[in-house]
Amino acid sequence: MILNVKYFGVLADITKKKEEQLVLDESNLTVNSLKSKIESVYQELQKNSYSIAVNQTMAGMDVTVKDQDVIAFLPPFAGG
């Protein structure tokens, strides 16, 4: 399946990209396993706290993602 992944704030600094398309062998997987997959590619992400949205809705770790979903990695910003 194909996923469109977007990174925000410091997470985009770590991945050095605002978004990317992932082509995966799996036909479905949970947000949690996607998170582990991405964090194994960009290990610095593990040092950050963030929430994950699937198709513009914040998702729990057990939500299943599917082909063509848009995934957003959203950290809280501190600045004011």
Give residues in contact with other proteins (CB under 8 A).
8-10, 18, 46-49, 51, 53, 56-58, 72, 74, 76-80
Query: Judged by CB, which is closer to other proteins: 26, or 61?
Result: 61
CB of 16 to other proteins, least distance (A): 14
| Secondary structure class of 72 (helix, strand, coil) | strand
Closest by CA to 3, choosing from 63, 71, 62, 72, is 71
Closest by CA to 74, choosing from 54, 64, 62, is 54
CB of 9 to other proteins, least distance (A): 4
